[in-house]
Structure 1
Amino acid sequence: MDQDGKEVLSVGNARNAPAASGAYDVSDANNLRWHEKGGSGILNDPASDGRMLETHCSER
């Protein structure tokens, strides 16, 4: 959590990747992906069974 009590996710070494719109970042291991557009974002990360999970995030 940050100093304002908000949850914070730090990907560490991420690189910017081409996106049709918004910002798209991919971890060096290529297993975490963050796509941000406007006030919302989508985090894709792998589940233990190999499926990719998608978490939708938005400003409150």
Structure 2
Amino acid sequence: MSKHYVDGIGVKEYLSIMLILIGVKMADTTPALLMEEVKSATWMVPIFSGIFFYPFFSWHQLL
């Protein structure tokens, strides 16, 4: 008995990826919750997040 394998993404795989992506987009309310908490200081959020995450993205340069 031989099995035939097809290279690439099939319809089932493509559909499951699309459903996961749509579900993540619909369920992600982080920006709405964050902006509700910081109110008029929304302009500072990218600055502080950049300062916070910079060491995590540049750690490989230190090694």
TM-score category (smaller protein): under 0.3
So what's the TM-score if we normalise by structure 2?
0.14
So what's the TM-score if we normalise by structure 1?
0.15
Larger RCO (CA under 8 A, 6+ residues apart): 1
Structure with greater strand share of residues? 1
Structure with greater helix share of residues? 2
Report the structure number with the largest CA radius of gyration.
2
